[in-house]
């Protein structure tokens, strides 16, 4: 396999609005990120992915861009951005921007021009239809309601897969594609390492538009239905790669849901459209067409099986990007560990099991200190548009307001968006002002400053984990070695080998709050990492403590 510069890197996602506020306006910003670069370097991360910081009305927190060439003043200036790129480079780190090109903002000049003259050239930048013919399809927007809405001041409708303030760009139009490629290259010229690519699977629509079988009483169907019928996305993605990323040897990771059975190689194989794509197999587990209130809770066994299934699918093809959380998901420790069992030891086990899977390890801000889901006192304190929609869906299905709040709280995107807990001072040291979203009330117990002083903290564990993954003796095994699941039938145990010609490493976690015995195939060699003080063993038999996690040679 041809080696790439990004194969052995450790990735970290920053959600700028909630990372660190440098000027007291309650909103995290670029100068805030610059101030924390040494913290990130010390943690051991190499590549930073920034959620969107472009000019935006922030209807969907920046995933609605009104100028692809400008920084939103709330985050800073283009000078700040150039400074951030330079400061990262000084430390040997790379920056990824978020590429949001399935849609733009309804405040983008292209959309303004389309409203003024829907039959002119900019009308063709979007998907428009004549109002008099009715809605061309019965698809439900990801944030609720029809994907079709009236184009203000005209006799047309326009399409939006996401919020009505996020009109879809018409990728069938070569002019649109040229504009997008021009922008990507402009950013790459600035010295970016690459991009995380938002919602990219949605750019190809099956045309002409048509209805599919409704899946709820609103008569609409999920967008995932139209994706099953869409053919030919590869032409767009291949062209984009040739015209942009390939010329710069840029790294790209796609936010790709719903690919078809046999498409993995096209997406992330050696000549794939992207360098990598996220493994969302755990994230989508238990999803229901009815909405969040009807999701099935994931257990440790399910988690294990989801990880291993994804690994099998990618084996011999390419590099998945592994996560336990991101800005669209609840906190991984709250989701993948049973309620009431969120001890630092259990958090380390979950982090360790995910981090050493084959693929690219991603950490989401705050994960390294074990940040947890927040508590919403009422629906009024929720900011996330997706949660607000899902709350309404739950009410419509007959849940009481209390039940609906409880149901959507578990999956709310705001869980991951509360400010990073830097220290025990007011507002968790995130801002000297009033944060745009309340800090989690547990910040006095869970914060960076306290954990930096504590050798046994979750943060210290993540540092050791990263250092282990980069250790010259083991790095190649973790990066290129095979992943072989073992003891798979043993319940509440997740274990796998990472194996190459040099090493066989065993990664093992007792995924429960009780002790467990396991008899290995070979006696343990050197213990490389342990989230407990000791290891009780007798020959090949290990007596694991609750949530004990180990990495060892074997
Ligand atoms: O997410 C897109 C995405 O496909 C899902 O997370 C989506 O919410 C789900 O499929 C709904 O059915 C990306 C961004 O990560 C997210 O923050 C944005 O809100 C969204 O795109 C729109 O840009
Ligand atoms: Ca600020």
- Can you give the pLDDT at residue 260? 87
**Alpha carbons 541 and 524: distance in angstroms, whole number:** 9
Contact in structure between 102 and 161 (CB atoms under 8 Å): yes
The encoded tokens of residue 517 equal: 């015995």
**Alpha carbons 51 and 517: distance in angstroms, whole number:** 43
For residues 399-403, give the mean pLDDT.
Answer: 98
- Can you give the pLDDT at residue 415? 98
Tell the residue number behind the tokens 């709250």, with chain if given.
Answer: 334
Query: What is the reported pTM?
Result: 0.98
Who surrounds ion ligand 2 at CB < 5 A?
Answer: 21, 23, 25, 27, 29
Residue closest via CA to ligand 1's atom 18 equals: 63
Would you place residue 264 in the very low, low, confident or very high pLDDT band (cuts 50, 70, 90)?
Answer: very high
- Can you give the pLDDT at residue 261? 82
Q: pLDDT (tens digit, 9 = 90+) per residue, 85-98?
A: 999 999 999 999 99
Atom of ligand 1 at shortest range from CA of 413: 17
Please state, as a whole number, how many other Cβ atoms lie within 10 Å of the Cβ of residue 455. Answer: 8
Please state, as a whole number, how many other Cβ atoms lie within 10 Å of the Cβ of residue 109. Answer: 12
Ligand 1 binding pocket, CB closer than 6 Å: 60, 63, 100, 142, 162, 198-199, 255, 257, 327-328, 386
- Can you give the pLDDT at residue 1? 80
Question: Distance from the CA of 459 to the center of ligand 2, in angstroms?
Answer: 25
Q: pLDDT (tens digit, 9 = 90+) per residue, 358-382?
A: 999 999 999 999 999 999 999 999 9
Q: pLDDT (tens digit, 9 = 90+) per residue, 417-454?
A: 999 999 999 999 999 999 999 999 999 999 999 999 99
Question: Distance from the CA of 75 to the center of ligand 2, in angstroms?
Answer: 6
Q: Which ligand is nearest to the CA of 198?
A: 1
Cβ contacts of residue 220 below 8 Å, gap of 6+?
Answer: 138, 139, 140, 146, 214
Q: pLDDT (tens digit, 9 = 90+) per residue, 126-182?
A: 999 999 999 999 999 999 999 999 999 999 999 999 999 999 999 999 999 999 999
User: Measuring CA to CA, which residue among 427, 432, 459, 456 is closest to residue 444?
Assistant: 427
**Alpha carbons 451 and 446: distance in angstroms, whole number:** 8
Residue closest via CA to ligand 1's atom 2 equals: 199
Q: What is the dihedral of CA 440, 446, 447, 452, to 10 degrees?
A: -170
- Asked if omega into 103 is within 30° of 0 (cis), the reply is no
- Can you give the pLDDT at residue 300? 97
Catalytic positions, please?
Answer: 198, 255
Q: pLDDT (tens digit, 9 = 90+) per residue, 42-74?
A: 999 999 999 999 999 999 999 999 999 999 999
For residues 347-358, give the mean pLDDT.
Answer: 98
In angstroms, how far is CA 473 from the centroid of its own chain?
Answer: 30
Residue closest via CA to ligand 1's atom 21 equals: 199
For residues 281-294, give the mean pLDDT.
Answer: 97
């Amino acid at each position: 396999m041809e080696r790439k510069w990004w194969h052995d890197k450790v990735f970290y996602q920053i959600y700028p609005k909630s990372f660190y506020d440098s000027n007291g306006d309650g909103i995290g910003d670029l100068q805030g990120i610059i101030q924390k670069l040494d913290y990130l370097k010390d943690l051991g991360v190499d590549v930073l992915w920034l959620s969107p910081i472009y000019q935006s009305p922030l209807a969907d927190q920046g995933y609605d861009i009104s100028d692809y060439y400008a920084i939103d003043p709330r985050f800073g200036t283009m000078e700040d951005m150039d400074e951030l790129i330079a400061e990262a480079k000084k430390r040997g780190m790379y920056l990824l921007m978020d590429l949001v090109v399935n849609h733009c903002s309804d405040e983008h000049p292209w959309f303004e021009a389309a409203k003024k003259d829907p039959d002119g050239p900019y009308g063709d930048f979007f998907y428009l239809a004549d109002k008099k013919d009715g809605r061309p399809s019965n698809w439900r927007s990801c944030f609720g309601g029809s994907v079709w809405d009236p184009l203000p001041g005209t006799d047309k409708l326009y399409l939006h897969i996401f919020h009505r303030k996020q009109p879809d760009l018409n990728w069938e139009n070569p002019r649109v594609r040229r504009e997008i490629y021009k922008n990507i290259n402009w950013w790459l010229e600035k010295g970016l390492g690459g991009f995380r690519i938002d919602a990219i699977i949605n750019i190809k629509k099956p045309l002409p538009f048509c209805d599919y079988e409704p899946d709820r009483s609103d008569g609409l169907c999920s967008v995932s239905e139209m994706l099953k019928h869409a053919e030919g996305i590869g032409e767009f993605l291949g062209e984009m790669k040739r015209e942009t990323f390939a010329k710069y040897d840029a790294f790209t990771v796609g936010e790709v849901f719903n690919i078809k059975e046999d498409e993995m190689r096209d997406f992330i194989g050696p000549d794939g459209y992207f360098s990598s794509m996220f493994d969302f197999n755990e994230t989508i587990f238990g999803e229901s067409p009815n909405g969040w209130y009807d999701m099935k809770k994931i257990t440790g066994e399910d988690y294990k099986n989801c990880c291993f299934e994804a690994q099998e699918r990618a084996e011999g093809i390419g590099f998945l990007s592994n996560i336990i959380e991101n800005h669209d998901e609840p906190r991984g420790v709250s989701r993948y560990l049973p309620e009431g069992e969120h001890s630092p030891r259990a958090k380390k086990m979950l982090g360790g099991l995910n981090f050493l899977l084959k693929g690219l390890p991603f950490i989401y801000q705050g994960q390294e200190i074990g940040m947890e889901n927040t508590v919403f006192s009422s629906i009024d304190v929720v900011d996330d548009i997706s949660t607000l929609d899902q709350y309404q869906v739950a009410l419509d299905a007959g849940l009481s307001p209390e039940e609906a709040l409880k149901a959507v709280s578990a999956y709310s995107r705001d869980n991951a968006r509360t400010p990073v807990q830097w220290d025990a001072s007011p507002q968790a040291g995130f801002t000297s002002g009033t944060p745009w979203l309340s800090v989690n009330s547990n910040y006095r117990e869970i914060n960076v400053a306290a954990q930096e002083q504590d050798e046994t903290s979750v943060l210290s564990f993540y540092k050791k984990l990263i250092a282990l993954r980069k250790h010259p003796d083991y790095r190649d095994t973790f990066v290129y070695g095979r992943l072989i699941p073992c003891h798979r039938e043993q319940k509440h145990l997740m274990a796998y080998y990472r194996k190459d010609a040099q090493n066989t490493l065993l990664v093992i976690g007792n995924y429960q709050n009780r002790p467990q015995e396991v008899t290995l195939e070979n006696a343990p060699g050197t213990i490389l990492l342990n989230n407990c003080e000791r290891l009780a063993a007798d020959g090949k038999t290990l007596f694991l403590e609750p949530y004990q996690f180990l990495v060892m040679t074997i």
